[in-house]
C-alpha cells in the first residue's frame, strides 16, 4: 500500500511547546544523535562514516545550529570568527558569480551558520536556470548508492539579478539549509522531494522512534520546507543584520506556502507566531482556501459518482449536477 501524506500527518500541533511528549531530551534520546554535544560526530573534523549521517531529530538539529549563531558575535567560536572575518574581507560580488567565489562563500557560511558540518557538497552553476524554470537554485541529491543523501549537489543560477532582491547569497543560504538538514536529519527521503517525483521510493524515518513517522510531515515536510527548515531559516534571517551587517531574506514563508499547497505541513498558530508573524494572515488565508477547494472537489466527486446499484437495476441518467 502506498504511503500518503494523510497516513502520517499529526492531528494536533506538533511543536515542542504543544506536544512535548513527542520529543525526547536530545541528551538521552536513544534513537537520535545529540546535536548539542560538541563531541558529536559531525561537529568534529573527523571523517564521517556512512552510518553517521541522518541520525538527528530534524527540529533538534535546527535548534542546535541556531544556538551557535544566535549569540553575540564576540562569543562565536574561533572558526566562526575566522570565517566571518574572511567573508567580510571578500571583494564585492561581480555578476555573474564565479565558481571559486561561490565555493568560498559556501565554505564561510558553513562555519558561521551550520556548525561547519556540511560535508561532500558539490555545486554547479547553471546559466539561465531562472529563465527556464521557476527556481533560481535547488539542492539535489543524486542517487549514487544506498547513502545517496551523503552526496548533495547545490545548483543555482550565477546571474545575481535572478535571486530575490538581487541577492545570490540568500539563494545559497536557502539551499545550504536544505543540505544541512537533509544530511543529518533522520528522515531518508531527500527532503521528501521524491514524494511527487518518485512516490515508490518514499520512505519514513528509519531511526526507530515511534514519534518520528508522525512528526516527519510537519518537521521535515514534503517539499523540505517543514518546521525544521522554517526554524533554521528564520533564525538566520533574524540574525543576519547583527552577524552579516545587512538583512537577508531566505523566503522561508514561501517554503511554507509550498507545504500548504502540497497538503503537507500546515503551520499551526504557534508556528505562524514563531516563524511568520508578518505573514500569518496570508498563510492562514491560504490554508483556509486550500481546505475549501478540497472540500468543493470532494463534494463534486461524491455528487458525480454513480449510485451503488445492482446489476439488474438501471443507472438513472444524470440530469442536474447542482440545483440553482
pLDDT for 312: 43
Its pTM surpasses 0.85: no
Q: Where are the alpha helices (DSSP H) in the chain?
A: 58-69, 78-88, 99-113, 129-132, 168-184, 212-219, 227-244, 252-261, 269-275, 280-304
Neighbouring C-alpha atoms within 13 Å toward the C-beta of 29: 26
SS3 labels along 78-103 = HHHHHHHHHHHCCCCCCCCCCHHHHH
* Residues pairing with 153 in the sheet: 122, 140
pLDDT for 121: 84
pLDDT for 223: 82
pLDDT for 135: 81
Place of cell 523540505: 224
pLDDT for 148: 44
Distance CA 125, CA 157 (A): 6
Distance CA 181, CA 143 (A): 17
Place of cell 478540497: 294
Distance CA 23, CA 148 (A): 27
pLDDT for 153: 82
pLDDT for 54: 61
Surface-to-core class of residue 34, CB atoms within 10 Å of its CB (0-12 exposed, 13-18 middle, 19+ buried): middle
Q: pLDDT averaged over consecutive 10-residue blocks of the chain (324 residues)?
A: 40 84 86 85 66 75 96 96 96 89 94 91 87 82 52 84 82 92 70 44 66 83 89 97 94 91 86 93 86 53 48 36 32
pLDDT for 266: 87
Do the bridges between strand 122-125 and strand 137-140 make them parallel or antiparallel, or are there none, so unpaired?
unpaired
Q: 236, 227, 239: which is closest to 273 by C-alpha?
A: 227
* Residue 199: count of CB within 10 angstroms of its CB: 11
Burial state string for 174-198 with b = 16 or more CB within 10 A and e = fewer than 16: bbbbbbbbbbbbbbbbbbbbbbeee
Amino acid at each position: 500500500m502506498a504511503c500518503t501524506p494523510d497516513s502520517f500527518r499529526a492531528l494536533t500541533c506538533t511543536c515542542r511547546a504543544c506536544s512535548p511528549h513527542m520529543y525526547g531530551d536530545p541528551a538521552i534520546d536513544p534513537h537520535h544523535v545529540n546535536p548539542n554535544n560538541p563531541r558529536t560526530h559531525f561537529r568534529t573534523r573527523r571523517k564521517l562514516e556512512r552510518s553517521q549521517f541522518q541520525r538527528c531529530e530534524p527540529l533538534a538539529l535546527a535548534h542546535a545550529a541556531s544556538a551557535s549563531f544566535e549569540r553575540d558575535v564576540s562569543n562565536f567560536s574561533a572558526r566562526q570568527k575566522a570565517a566571518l572575518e574572511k567573508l567580510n574581507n571578500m571583494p564585492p560580488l561581480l555578476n555573474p558569480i564565479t565558481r571559486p567565489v561561490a565555493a568560498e562563500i559556501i565554505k564561510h557560511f558553513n562555519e558561521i551558520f551550520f556548525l561547519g558540518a556540511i560535508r561532500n557538497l558539490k555545486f554547479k552553476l547553471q546559466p539561465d536556470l531562472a529563465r527556464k524554470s521557476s527556481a533560481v537554485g535547488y539542492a539535489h541529491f543524486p542517487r549514487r548508492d544506498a547513502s545517496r543523501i551523503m552526496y548533495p549537489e547545490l545548483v543555482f543560477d550565477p546571474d545575481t539579478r535572478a535571486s530575490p532582491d538581487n541577492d545570490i547569497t540568500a539563494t545559497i543560504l536557502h539551499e545550504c539549509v536544505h543540505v544541512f538538514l537533509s544530511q543529518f536529519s533522520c528522515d531518508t527521503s531527500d527532503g521528501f522531494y521524491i514524494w511527487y517525483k518518485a512516490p515508490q521510493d518514499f520512505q519514513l524515518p528509519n531511526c526507530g522512534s515511534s514519534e518520528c513517522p508522525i512528526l516527519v510531515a510537519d518537521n521535515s515536510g514534503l517539499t523540505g520546507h517543514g518546521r525544521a527548515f522554517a526554524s533554521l531559516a528564520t533564525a538566520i534571517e533574524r540574525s543576519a543584520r547583527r552577524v552579516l551587517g545587512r538583512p537577508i531574506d531566505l523566503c522561508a514563508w514561501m517554503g511554507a506556502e509550498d507545504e500548504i499547497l502540497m497538503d503537507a505541513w500546515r503551520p499551526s498558530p504557534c508556528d505562524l507566531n514563531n516563524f511568520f508573524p508578518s505573514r500569518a494572515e496570508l498563510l492562514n488565508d491560504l490554508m483556509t482556501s486550500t481546505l475549501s477547494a478540497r472540500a468543493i472537489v470532494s463534494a463534486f466527486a461524491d455528487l458525480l459518482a454513480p449510485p451503488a446499484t445492482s446489476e439488474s437495476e438501471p443507472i438513472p441518467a444524470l440530469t442536474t449536477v447542482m440545483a440553482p
